[in-house]
Amino acid sequence: MAQRTTTDVHGISRIFHSIDALSSRAACSAIVLVTAVVAIITISIVGFESELEYIFTTCATAVTLVMVFAIQHTQSRQQLSMQIKLDELLRALPQADDRFVHIEVGPDSELEVMESRTTAHHAALRHEPSP
């Protein structure tokens, strides 16, 4: 399936990549940890039946939901770009088996055959006597 290339998609993609880059920093993890600890202490002092508990729960759930989609988007994009690079390397090597190019979209039976063939090849290499 072709990916849409409108400016809206690129803008949203950039936002997700920015969220991913920001959230992967250690400082962000520390801020989230401190915020969660402070919120839990405050909620326990005020009382667990307070409105503050519901606000914290709602915010935590919203952040989690956004992060799931941001991580999925960035990982999917990175995986696709890596697959394209590997496919190009396979095409460039004359001795490479072209059946590996885009194997991820092939039927399960083809994947199983190629996996067993590759596994058998590696096993044979490990059992060969050293020169």
Residue indicated by tokens 């936002």: 15
What is the predicted pLDDT for the residue at 126?
85
In a domain, residue 1? The reply is no
Do residues 41 and 90 both lie within one domain?
A: yes
How many domains does the chain fold into?
A: 2
What is the predicted pLDDT for the residue at 128?
60
Do residues 68 and 17 both lie within one domain?
A: yes
Do residues 87 and 105 both lie within one domain?
A: no
The reported pTM is: 0.54
Paired tokens of 66: 């956004």
In a domain, residue 2? The reply is no
Paired tokens of 30: 């520390």
Do residues 57 and 74 both lie within one domain?
A: yes
What do you get for the CA distance between the two ends of the chain, in Å?
Answer: 49
Alpha carbons within 13 angstroms on the beta-carbon side of residue 20 total 17
Which residues form the domain of 111?
97-131
Mean pLDDT for each 10-residue chunk of the chain (131 residues)?
49 81 86 90 84 88 90 86 85 80 81 86 75 48
Do residues 105 and 128 both lie within one domain?
A: yes
Say what the alpha-carbon torsion angle 103, 108, 114, 115 is, to the nearest 10 degrees: 110
Taking a C-beta distance cutoff of 8 angstroms, is the pair 96, 90 a contact?
yes
If one counts every other C-beta atom within 10 angstroms of the C-beta of residue 52, the result is 15
